[in-house]
Structure 1
Amino acid sequence: MTASFHDLMGASVFITGGGSGIGVALTEGFLAQGAKVAFVGRSDASAFADAMAAKHGNRPLFIQCDITDTDALQDAIAQAAQTHGPLKALVNNAANDARHAAATITPAYWDEMQAVNLKAYFFACQKAASLMAPQGAMINFSSISYMFGAADMVAYTTANAGITGLTRSLAREWGPRGIRVNAIAPGWVFTEKQETMWATPDSKAAFLERQCLQDFMQPADMVGPVLFLASDVSAMMTGQTMVVDAGVVTTG
C-alpha cells in the first residue's frame, strides 16, 4: 500500500464477502487505512478477524451471514452502524461466478444466481442508505465478463449488467442526499477459488494475451481503486463504472 486516504481513518465501512477472495484484500486494505471494518460471509471468518487484529491492532467486526437472507443482511448492516457509527462506505463484493451452460439453467438456479449477484446488492444499498453518513459512498462489484459477453455464465453476466443499471439509478436518486454510488468492473482476478476451480495454464495464457498489461491480476490490485472510490478524493464521481482489468476492454 503506497497511498494514504486520510478521510478513511476511523471511517465505518461495511463489506460483503470480506473474509474470502478479493474481500480479504479489501478488508485488510481498509484496516491498514485505520478504518473500522465490518464484514459478512457465509463461512466462519473468526480466525481471519483474529489475524487482522494481531497484524493491524484493529479488529474487524465479523458477522456470519448468508447475503441472500435479506433480513439477516440488513440486520448485519444495522449492527455494523450501531457498533462503528454511520457508514462511510458500503462495498458490495460477494458474488457467485459459477460456470453454467445456458441450456441447463432452471428457474430455481436462475433465481438463486440473481439473489446472490444482484438482489443482495440492492437490499444492502437500501439499508446502508438509511444509515450512511453525509458524503457516503457505495461501491458495487460488477465484472468485465458482461462487457465482452462471456459464455457459460449468462446468469452471472446478466446480474453484472444489472449492477450497472442499479448503480446509475441509485446515484441519480440519492445524489441529492450526498450519497455517491459507483461500480467497479474487474478483469480476471486470480483468487484461490479461481485458481482451484477454473484457471488452467492454457486459459490463463489465453486471457493474458487479451490484456494490455502482461501481469496476472491479484486481489491486491482491487484495493487501491476501491479505497479511491470510498474516499472523498473521488467526491465528484458517481454513477460510474470503473474498469480495472489490465486493458482487456475499452470504455468511453
Structure 2
Amino acid sequence: MVPPNTSLLKYDNPILVSRNTEKKATKVSGATVTGNGSPAGPVPSPPKTSKLPPVEAQKNQQTEEILNSILPPKEWQDNGQLWTQQVSSTPATRLDVVNLQEQLDQKLQQRQARETGICPVRRELYSQSFDELIRQVTINCAERGLLLLRVRDEIRMTIAAYQTLYESSVAFGMRKALQAEQGKADMENKISELESEKRDSERQVNELKAKCEAIEKREAERRMVEEKRHTEEIQFLKRTNQQLKAQLEGIIAPTRK
C-alpha cells in the first residue's frame, strides 16, 4: 500500500519503478500494469493529446530537472516494490497559495505546535511550506527558485550552526555544573576540617584562659599575702624603732642632767 502524502509539499502520483515478481510488468500511460492487466499502483492523469512545441517541452524538462535537483524525489519500498514520487511541476495558482496557508494553520493546530520558543514541529511545517513556495516560484522562474534555494540553505546552515553552538554550550554548562558539584563537595570537606580546627582552637583558647585566670588568682593571693607580711614587718620595725628610740632617749636623758 502506498503511504499517503502528509507533507505540505505538493507531489505527483507515485510511480512503480521495479518489483520482485516473475510476472512481467508493463507501463501504460505512466502506470505499471501487471500481466493480468490490473494496475499495480495509482494511475496518474493521462497525458494531453496536444503535443507541446519543442521549445516549451525543453523548457518544461529543464524545469523538472531543476525541481528534482532542488527537491529530490521520494523513494520507498513496499512489499518488495520500489516506488518513487517526484514533486509536482504543475504551476500554482492563487487558490493553491491560500490552500497552503490554510493547511499550514490546520497542521500547526493538529500537531499542537508551540507558538513561541523552540519547536521542532513548527520548524518542520514551516520548512515544508517554504519548500512548496520554492517549488511554485521555480516553475514560473527557475532563477528565482535557485536564489530562494540559496536562501533556504543559508538559513538551514545558520540554524545548524546555532544548534551546534547550543549543544556545545549545554555540554560546557554540564561540565561546569559537574565541576562545581565536585568543587562544592571539596569545599564542604574543607569547611568541615576548618570548623573542626576552629573548635580545637577555641577549646585550647578556653583552656589557656582558664590557666591564665588561675595564675592571676594565685598571684593575686600571693601578692596579698606578701603585702600583708610586708605591712606587718613594717609595723613591727616601726614599733621596734620606737622602742629603741624610747630606750635611747631614756639612756641619754640622765646623762644630760
TM-score under structure 2 length normalisation = 0.24
Task: Looking at secondary structure, tell me which structure has more helix per residue.
Answer: 2
The answer to which structure has the higher strand fraction is 1
Greater relative contact order (CA < 8 Å, ≥ 6 in sequence): 1
TM-score, normalisation: structure 1: 0.25
